Structure 1
Amino acid sequence: MKNNRNIVTVMITIALILLVSCDNSTDEISAKSNNQSSTNSTTQNADGDVANKDVADTDENTTEKASGSTENNEQNNQEDISSGTSANVNDGQSNSSNSDNENKKKEYLQKLNKMEESDRYSEAGTTITELEEQEAERYKNWDEELNEIYGVLKEQLPAEQMDKLREEQRSWVKHRDEAAKEASLKYKGGTTESLEYVATQASLTRERCYTLVAKYMK
């Protein structure tokens, strides 16, 4: 009887030991599972933070690029506008200059026509002396106009073309005086010799004025 009681006691003790061991194993497994879950959660959070940081950096770079692109576009547009404005200004100045030259040429032609008309309808003198004085005055007026036109051409013509015109003008002056002398010799010794000389000078100078304006003035 006593032996049976001892056997029962041993069996109960073994059962208690087994139950305690199972509880400990269950706690260890639960603890490991919780630790693993915590570790995974931490890793996911870290990965999420890195991913968010990468996205933020990407957005910032995209914004900077977009801003830089906008600034470059604005600068290019300003340069294009500036270039277009400069071109328009230059074109406007060129057109204005051409228009001024055309107006000047027209102005001088009208002036020459008025001078010629005035000569044609002026009252002629009744004596040789009066006629000679009138022709001398006419020559003076046309010669002054010729010098004025010549001065305008100095400003308009290129240096090379002006040099050629200067030589041409010297030759023309020589031709004018020789032609006047030849015309006056027809009346050599007469009262109209000097009158013919100055009248020829005046007429040739008038023609030269028209030639310079029509041929050279721009």
Structure 2
Amino acid sequence: MEKNKKFLTVLITVALSGVLAACGDSSEESSSQPANNSSAQNEDGGSTDRDSADSEENEEENSSGSSDNTQLNEQENTDNSSAASNDGESVESSNQNENHESNKDEYLKKLNKMEEADRYAEAKTTTAELVEQEAERYRNWDEELNKIYGLLEDQLDKGQMDQLREEQRIWIQQRDEAAKKSSLKYKGGSMEPLEYVATQASLTRERCYLLVAKYMK
């Protein structure tokens, strides 16, 4: 009996020791968890600080990048405005040149149409009718020559116009002399007046082309 009591006593002691040990471990784990949580919070807090610093750096970079982009856009707008202004000046200058050239070209086209009308005009049959036809052709070209001369008076400066006026006076004299000389081939005949006025018409037509090509702007 005494041996059995001792054995039970030992068993109970061992069991109590195990229970106490288990309670001690649980208490240690419980006390260690807040410390770990606290450490985790500190670590998280440190991470939050780093995130905040990174966020501030990103904001500064974004702000700096935005400022740089604004400056670049302003510079591009300035360059585009300058280029547009230069293009506008170039287009205006080009249009002015085209207007000057088109004036001359337009007049040359007009002269070409007049010459074409003469070429395809129906020829008369009698000498008197031919003389009248050539006289009409001469009047048309002489009238056009006077129009061209009037336009050049507005375009040329005083020195150039004085020179042209003298050239024109000499040319008229030479034209009439050439017509007279050409008509003498038919002196005394019915063709003499026809040749005279036909030569005047042809030389006046040539003079119109010359003045437009040489002087008109």
TM-score strictly above 0.5: yes
Task: Write the letter of the residue equivalent to 1:186.
Answer: K
Aligned partner of 2:157 in structure 1 is 158
Q: 1:100 to 1:179 in 2, by over 3 A?
A: same
Aligned partner of 2:180 in structure 1 is 181
Matches of 2:92 and 2:136 in 1, distance apart? 41
* Distance apart, 1:100 and its partner CA: 2.2
Q: SS in structure 2 opposite 1:124?
A: coil
Aligned partner of 1:147 in structure 2 is 146
Residue pairs, 1:1-218, within 5 angstroms: 95-218=94-217
Task: Write the letter of the residue equivalent to 1:213.
Answer: V
Q: SS in structure 1 opposite 2:118?
A: helix
Q: SS in structure 2 opposite 1:189?
A: coil
Q: SS in structure 2 opposite 1:123?
A: coil
* Distance apart, 1:127 and its partner CA: 0.3
* Distance apart, 1:99 and its partner CA: 2.8
Aligned partner of 2:63 in structure 1 is none
Q: 1:185 to 1:209 in 2, by over 3 A?
A: same
Q: CA RMSD in A?
A: 2.3
Task: Write the letter of the residue equivalent to 1:171.
Answer: I
Matches of 1:160 and 1:212 in 2, distance apart? 16
* Distance apart, 1:103 and its partner CA: 1.1
Matches of 1:93 and 1:171 in 2, distance apart? 40
* Distance apart, 1:162 and its partner CA: 1.1
Task: Write the letter of the residue equivalent to 2:112.
Answer: N
TM-score by length of 2: 0.57
Q: 1:178 to 1:109 in 2, by over 3 A?
A: same
Matches of 1:147 and 1:141 in 2, distance apart? 10
Residues 132-154 of structure 1, C-alpha deviations (whole Å, 9 max, x = no match): 01000000000011111111111
Residues 36-73 of structure 1, C-alpha deviations (whole Å, 9 max, x = no match): xxxxxxxxxxxxxxxxxxxxxxxxxxxxxxxxxxxxxx
Matches of 2:147 and 2:100 in 1, distance apart? 15
Q: SS in structure 2 opposite 1:126?
A: coil
Task: Write the letter of the residue equivalent to 1:180.
Answer: A
* Number of equivalenced pairs: 137
Task: Write the letter of the residue equivalent to 1:136.
Answer: A
Q: SS in structure 2 opposite 1:133?
A: helix
Matches of 2:155 and 2:170 in 1, distance apart? 21
Residues 110-136 of structure 1, C-alpha deviations (whole Å, 9 max, x = no match): 001111111001100000011001000
User: Percentage identity across aligned positions?
Assistant: 67
TM-score by length of 1: 0.57
Q: 1:93 to 1:169 in 2, by over 3 A?
A: farther
Residues 182-204 of structure 1, C-alpha deviations (whole Å, 9 max, x = no match): 11111111001111100000000
Task: Write the letter of the residue equivalent to 1:214.
Answer: A
Aligned partner of 1:74 in structure 2 is none
Matches of 1:92 and 1:216 in 2, distance apart? 25
Matches of 1:153 and 1:95 in 2, distance apart? 23
Q: SS in structure 1 opposite 2:216?
A: coil
